[in-house]
Structure 1
Amino acid sequence: MPNHLILEVADKTIRPGGPVQGEILWDLESGPRSLYLSLGWWTSGRGDRDEFIVADREWTHPGPIGKESFSFTVPDTVVPSFSGRLISVEWGLQLSVAGIRVEDVLEPLIISPTREEIDISSETYQSKGKSVSIRKGRNLSLPNRR
């Protein structure tokens, strides 16, 4: 019997401060030690990969077959989902099993005030009334820059 691990998410585009809700379902050959679900972000692109888990939940000794609901709240102050020429920030839910060989399930999410991934790959990106130029030889005009 093959192992099945399913992660269902009610809404995959969430505003900061909003809920991430859904269900996990599993049908495994034997009962695992635990099921672990995490909500987090990671960087991709040039440079080292950074990762951060915002919320997580673990179910211990859940039995070989089952279903559980989950709900996380995205903090109000988070880095939104964005993509650029050099780096991107991606969000997702990851479901993993301990004690049985089963591939993790990753469900990508968009976390953004606009409910859309922010594209910063264009020449000028405008946010909160401040313009940032990324053309060669120009200085960035950002506050709090030292």
Structure 2
Amino acid sequence: MSMIDAACARSAWKAIMAVTVGAPGLRRNTITGGLFVLGEDDLLEEVMKAIPRIRAVVHFGWSGPSGQRLPINHIERKVLECSTEPTDVLWSLFAGSLEASDFDYRRHPSFIEYAAGVFAAHHNRRLLEKDPSLASEYPPKPLAGLDHRSTAWRPVSGSGRL
């Protein structure tokens, strides 16, 4: 385990152990959003699930639209999806796509590439209709591997990101 992963694991351990939910032993992994039972479920597994998410947050920092932190679980993404700001919705979709790629930010397209790909999809034009200036910031451009229904990106052969 690298020093960075060890630091991420310490951070995850602290966050996980800090939140109890209702019944004795029931905990919420605030990083993944999942529930587990202390003493019955594997705590190390919960920590290991959190590490790629923390690494992605560290990588992206506060680089989202309006300086937002990368949303790392379903609850945080849903809050952004309900926003009236198209860039918040895009940031949420990007985070969901990143999660579908196991938070492997080295292989996943950048936010700018991803946003351009989402705008190229016909059914996502409603975001551009809300804020037409986004077309100049993220000119629509097809993105190989982008599932236009789920907006999740998957690596494809020849994409240079396998």
Give the TM-score taking structure 1 as reference length: 0.28
Answer 1 or 2: which has greater strand percent. 1
Query: Bigger relative contact order, structure 1 or 2, given CA contacts below 8 A and separation 6+?
Result: 1
Answer 1 or 2: which has greater helix percent. 2
Give the TM-score taking structure 2 as reference length: 0.26
Query: Larger radius of gyration, structure 1 or 2?
Result: 1
